[in-house]
Amino acid sequence: MKMTIHEVAQCLNLHVRTIERWIRQGRIPIQKTGNGYLFNESALKKWAKMYRLPFSMPEKLKSRGYEERPENLLYAMKRGGVLHDLKGDDMETALKSAVEHMPVLSKTSKKELYRLLLEREHLTSTGIGKGVAIPHPREPLSDVMNSPIISTCFLEKPVDFGAVDDRPVFVLFILLSQSIKIHLHLLSRFSFCIRDNSFVEFLKTSPDETSFFAKIADFEKQLDRAET
């Protein structure tokens, strides 16, 4: 592969002018000829190693950045599904039945999830007010997941969750994600939806899947517009 001096500068994370000056001062094994620069890539790498300078290809950095790009709400919610009329008299039983009915997860991870959710609830309630709660484990499940899941669970009757405004909770959004970063990303997008009072009213009608997803898609569009 033929490299240009600009690429060398990128690999070393330096300004092109620094490289040019180093060539002039003879500090870097690159030779200037009449119309360009002469150098050997492996010699350059060896040189960088000797002076303990970081030398890495910029392409690698870019691809890693792409992987980390977090997903949006709608897909996570579609994966998690919408559950209606879940039974339960208090927080524990409501969570238990919600976890039982969640799709995708295996039996062992359901058990683990239930335990982690309870642990989290004991720390502080995840009831964020207006009758909505977002139970989630503090750390990602030990079972490796590829993509985040949000299960929307409408309860048969409102349950006391110890929420911040002491109102009984009628809907749970169980939030599972593979990393803290994605968790925060989803949480911030979700809180944007829940801030809207008309959305809470809409939730109280315990809507069916299609109209619920349509509403979420609407919010996503608003969010994307605000970001750009």
Please say whether the beta carbons of 161 and 122 come within 8 A: no
Identified binder of other proteins from the candidate list 2, 52, 62, 64, rule CB under 8 A? 52
How many chain residues interact with other proteins (CB under 8 A)? 21
> In this chain, which stretch among 24-32, 57-65, 163-171, 197-205 interacts with other proteins, using CB under 8 A?
24-32
Give CA–CA dist 26/34, Å, rounded: 16
Which amino acid is residue 121, in one-letter code?
A: E
Give CA–CA dist 46/3, Å, rounded: 16
69 binds other proteins (CB under 8 A): no
Which tokens in the block code for residue 73?
């709400």
CA–chain centroid gap for 40, Å, is 42
> In this chain, which stretch among 17-25, 101-109, 121-129, 150-158 interacts with other proteins, using CB under 8 A?
17-25
191 binds other proteins (CB under 8 A): no
Minimum CB–partner distance for residue 201 and other proteins (Å): 24
Q: Of all helices (H) and strands (E), which one includes residue 190? A: helix 180-194
186 binds other proteins (CB under 8 A): no
27 binds other proteins (CB under 8 A): yes
In sequence order, the 6+-apart residues with CB closer than 8 A to the CB of 180 are 140
42 binds other proteins (CB under 8 A): no
The phi, psi pair for 169, rounded to 5°, reads -95, 135
28 binds other proteins (CB under 8 A): yes
Identified binder of other proteins from the candidate list 4, 53, 181, 221, rule CB under 8 A? 53
In sequence order, the 6+-apart residues with CB closer than 8 A to the CB of 126 are 120, 133, 134, 135, 136, 161
> In this chain, which stretch among 49-57, 82-90, 122-130, 138-146 interacts with other proteins, using CB under 8 A?
49-57
21 binds other proteins (CB under 8 A): yes
Binding positions for other proteins, rule: CB under 8 A = 14-15, 17-18, 21-29, 32, 47, 50-53, 226-227
